[in-house]
Amino acid sequence: MPTPRETRQRAAIARVLAEARGPLLPEAVLRRAREHAPGLGQATVYRTLKRLAEDGELRAVRLDDERVRYEAAGGHHHHFRCRGCDEVLDVAGCGLAPPALGGPLPAGFRVERHEVVLIGLCARCA
């Protein structure tokens, strides 16, 4: 059973990700979650993010820079990463299906999922 304190910390972290415009690095989650739960520690945030991802409440996202970010579990979408400030934004919608994805594939191959990362500069960095 989680303690009331753990439940509060978990809720603060889930709220930060529910309000985010895109997947966040653990450091960014820590910074924002401290506004709702002062005294929140770095180890707690890392551990809680891992556990929420294992429970399917969050998704761990690896983009082209290989860093692990977390987002609220939701429908399929793409991501935009600013190479200036490293912010990642969700991009809604997806019109991609083979052959737009670069087919043809060898005979017998079947696509099950895809991930798209757009890379560029945000309005602030451009």
Binding site for Zn ion (CB under 5 A): 82, 84-85, 94, 96, 122, 125
- Residue from 49, 47, 67, 46 nearest 59 by CA: 49
Q: Return the residue nearest Zn ion (CB atom).
A: 94
Please report how close the Cβ of residue 1 comes to Zn ion at its closest, in angstroms.
39
CB of 113 to Zn ion, least distance (A): 9
Nearer to Zn ion, 1 or 124 (CB): 124
Q: Which is nearer to Zn ion, 6 or 117 (CB)?
A: 117
Per DSSP, helices labelled H in the chain are 4-19, 26-36, 42-54
The rounded distance, in Å, linking the Cα atoms of 32 and 58 is: 16
